Amino acid sequence: MNARFVIKFLLCTFALSISYSSFAQKRWQQLTSVEDICADAPETMKMMLDQFDLDKPGLEQVKAAQKKGDLIGACKQLLVYYQNGKTASFLRKTLPAASDKTAAEADTILKNVFIIQNVKGQVPLLSDGHRDWHYKGPNNDREWAWLSNRHTQLATVFDTYMETGNPKYAQYIDVFLKDFILKSLPYPAVKSSTSVWRGLEVAARVKVWSRIYYGLLKSPYLSPATQLLLLSSLPDHAHYNRQFHSGNNWLTMEISALATVATNFPEYKKSDEWLSYAIATMAKSMKGQVYKDGTQTELTSHYHNVALSNFVLFKEICDRANRPLPDFFNQTIIEMYNYIARAVRPDGYRILNNDGDRGSDRALLLEAAKKYNKPEWAYLASNGKTGTKPFQGPSYFFPWAGQLISRSNYNADAHWSFFDIGPWGSGHQHNDKLHISVSAFGRDLLVDAGRFAYTGEVADKFRPYAKGSEGHNLILIDGKGQQPGPLLAKEPLNSNHVKITPDFDYAANDFSAFDVNGSASHTRAVMYVRGQFWVVVDRIRTDKPRKIEALWHWHPDCLVSQDASSVRTNNSRGNLAIIPVSSQKNKIDFIKGQEKPEIQGWYSPEYNVYMPNTTAIYNTDIAGDKTFVWLLLPSEGKTPYVKTRVISETSDEVKVEIVTRGKTWKMTIPFNASARAELEK
């Protein structure tokens, strides 16, 4: 054998090797027909057919082909059944006319660049040509991997295809789904926290996939192979949500997904059982996770909305399936909307508390007002431009949640505050009892720190601060904050804790679980004089001398300065002054964007979004029990002249006088027993 022949032989062998390797890497991408998928994954297709009740009308030819052992014929007839059927008619869409129109957001996704919770990352390809479905994004954040596997980005591409008719978007969906389903096999059938098989992601995919399956059913771009893979994977998703669902707001998402499969694909053998189980489980969960005042027990406005949206979805699913729900189900939905309406800020944004984002609820409320014929919700959401003025209000107290929402009126410039005197919460909690947030004249002034992130680099840095008392408008004792409190309220707070009158709002409670040597407790009472100001009274009870730090966190947009013992903003419009009324020697520190020795002075309005903000800290030492009184004085422009004094103080109450804007107010502010709260003017 001469050298030239040997070289030629080796080159040919190498070329064949490269060609075979390339084919192997692309093999899954070439599976388009029924014949392809039946040849490549015959057991998967057989298992899929076994999931169907082939005795249902319309599936006779599928059953006949299966009985003959004709796998390809049975799969083809199943697709014909769905093509010609009327199941999930509300999801079946008229396909758009073809065009070359594009959309920037979808085009970015077509490059496998996904934006997850404000972080952009490009999912890499593995050696087999599949995307890396376990990729955790540029910050190595497992939340990034989880959320990317919910396939919301695929919903964006689907919507873009329906709007533009550009085939490239539908073609991407086909490859994406084929890629994911094949790479996710085999279904593990165990409770998991992996990037692919975690309950929330399983639940979210079901809802996206249902829209895509029926929306593209008659499209030439959703290949028969991909359609069959979807039909083979949905029972696995239903099984997971049936067997391994969690509780609280997770349950609402997972069980609504189980009902989604059961009603959108009633041909599965277990669909009736899935739906019956879903109805019983969701109804029981609603009773367990929603208080009688309409608040979801996690007491996080963000997750309250998550639970509500899934309760609403579940009711819509059951209504379409003509399956009745208990009478309380719809009433609870109304009460949950009512909470949102009563708590909404004048600018339409929700409370930022616990693990939440400061998102807008305005559109949500306006839509709900029409759907449920609640014109007062529209009034609250629109600053009185539409709807009917509520009979109760403008302030409102939620006795199970322990949340007082104070307002001066319903205008866009209204004073608004959130005061938390309730339980810790059943999930996503922060150690923030007795925190107060304040806004006025369309501007946030005193704020909660937000949630920052759950995992990854941002969470490693900021998560303890977000959850800790140091990220809230609270008192630290000997540098220590609160410990976790009771998860759930056993009963609503009684009238001793709150009083709402036409002229003022009052609320108070105490907290004693501090991580300190000995015993120490913090009682906070807030009186809001409607349209004028807030007075905050902090009573510290202690068995020994303590170092006290009173924290006041300002919105990042606020220009903050010190004026003697007062701290005030100097904004062009919308200001607040914090004025100590009681006599104590304070050292005032301003901290903004601090990282060492500890995190302080940071604000996160959305997940993975954060920025420095000013924290004013009043430092003082106390020898024993001590009462601090603070005036929070809002103004549209420059802070007006004010004169303050403590008239008297006992272990049960303080009496305070405020003189400003040519008027004098005298207040009796008890530490409890709200009946004694009084205002003279």
**Helix (H), strand (E), coil (C) string for 401-425:** CCEEEEECCCCCCCCEEEEECCCCC
Q: Could you identify the residue written with the tokens 């929402």?
A: 405
Q: How far apart are alpha carbons 305 and 299 in whole angstroms?
A: 11
Q: How far apart are alpha carbons 58 and 81 in whole angstroms?
A: 7
SS3 of residue 674 by DSSP:
helix
The pLDDT of residue 9: 35
Let me know: does 615 contact 551? Beta carbons within 8 Å: yes
Q: How far apart are alpha carbons 580 and 346 in whole angstroms?
A: 27
Cis peptide preceding 324, ω within 30 of 0: no
> The CATH number of the domain where 619 resides is what?
2.70.98.70
Q: How far apart are alpha carbons 157 and 106 in whole angstroms?
A: 5
What pTM, to 2 d.p., does this model score? 0.91
Q: Are residues 537 and 626 in the same domain?
A: yes
Neighbours of 64 (CB within 10 A): 14
Is 644 part of a structural domain of the chain?
Answer: no
The pLDDT of residue 574: 97
Q: How far apart are alpha carbons 440 and 595 in whole angstroms?
A: 30
Q: How far apart are alpha carbons 635 and 574 in whole angstroms?
A: 6
Let me know: does 87 contact 95? Beta carbons within 8 Å: no
Q: Are residues 251 and 287 in the same domain?
A: yes
| DSSP structure string for 514-559 | BSSSS-EEEEEEEEEETTTEEEEEEEEEESS-EEEEEEEEBPTT--
| Domain residue limits at 454 | 393-637
Q: Are residues 322 and 427 in the same domain?
A: no
The angle, 0 to 180 degrees and rounded to 10, between the axes of the packed helices 224-243 and 271-289 is: 50
Q: Are residues 320 and 398 in the same domain?
A: no
Q: Are residues 379 and 400 in the same domain?
A: no
Give the residue from 390, 412, 441 where a domain finishes. 390
Q: Which two tokens stand for residue 605?
A: 């309005």
Q: How far apart are alpha carbons 642 and 665 in whole angstroms?
A: 11
Q: How far apart are alpha carbons 280 and 527 in whole angstroms?
A: 44
Q: Are residues 380 and 398 in the same domain?
A: no
The pLDDT of residue 44: 97
Fill in the DSSP letter of residue 641: P
Handedness of CA 219, 225, 229, 231 (dihedral sign): positive
Q: How far apart are alpha carbons 487 and 433 in whole angstroms?
A: 12
Q: Are residues 386 and 265 in the same domain?
A: yes
> The CATH number of the domain where 277 resides is what?
1.50.10.100
φ, ψ of residue 671 in degrees (nearest 5) = -85, -15
Is 291 part of a structural domain of the chain?
Answer: yes
Q: Tell me the CA distances in angstroms from 512 to 384, 472, 485, 542, one per residue in order.
A: 41, 17, 9, 10
| DSSP structure string for 277-297 | HHHHHHHHHHHHHB-TTS-BT
Q: How far apart are alpha carbons 215 and 196 in whole angstroms?
A: 24
Handedness of CA 452, 457, 463, 466 (dihedral sign): negative
Q: Are residues 471 and 604 in the same domain?
A: yes
The DSSP bridge partners found for residue 553 are 615
Neighbours of 107 (CB within 10 A): 16
Q: Tell me the CA distances in angstroms from 440 to 128, 149, 341, 532, one per residue in order.
A: 57, 40, 18, 11
Q: How far apart are alpha carbons 501 and 634 in whole angstroms?
A: 20
Q: Give Cβ neighbours of residue 241 (< 8 Å, ≥ 6 apart).
A: 199, 202, 203, 206, 254, 255, 257, 258, 261
Is 382 part of a structural domain of the chain?
Answer: yes
The pLDDT of residue 25: 37
Helices (H), 101-223: 104-110, 142-148, 152-164, 167-184, 199-215
The residue ranges of the chain whose pLDDT is under 50 are: 1-26
Is 570 part of a structural domain of the chain?
Answer: yes
Q: Are residues 251 and 385 in the same domain?
A: yes
Helices (H), 627-679: none
Classify burial at 340, counting beta carbons within 10 Å of its beta carbon; exposed 0-12, middle 13-18, buried 19 or more. buried
Q: Are residues 492 and 399 in the same domain?
A: yes
Give the residue from 390, 419, 440 where a domain finishes. 390
Q: Tell me the CA distances in angstroms from 44 to 37, 369, 408, one per residue in order.
A: 9, 47, 63
Is 44 part of a structural domain of the chain?
Answer: no
Give the residue from 322, 356, 390 where a domain finishes. 390
Q: How far apart are alpha carbons 351 and 549 in whole angstroms?
A: 25
SS3 of residue 579 by DSSP:
strand
SS3 of residue 561 by DSSP:
strand
H helices then E strands: how many in the chain? 18, 25
Number of domains present in the structure of the chain: 2
- What helix, strand, coil percent values describe the chain, rounded to 5? 40, 25, 35
Is 368 part of a structural domain of the chain?
Answer: yes
Is 367 part of a structural domain of the chain?
Answer: yes
∠298-303-309 over CA atoms, to 5°?
Answer: 125
The pLDDT of residue 656: 98
Q: How far apart are alpha carbons 295 and 658 in whole angstroms?
A: 35
Q: Are residues 422 and 383 in the same domain?
A: no
Q: Are residues 491 and 625 in the same domain?
A: yes
The pLDDT of residue 27: 85
Is 603 part of a structural domain of the chain?
Answer: yes
Q: How far apart are alpha carbons 608 and 429 in whole angstroms?
A: 18
Of 155, 136, 194, 180, whose CA–CA distance to 29 is shortest? 180
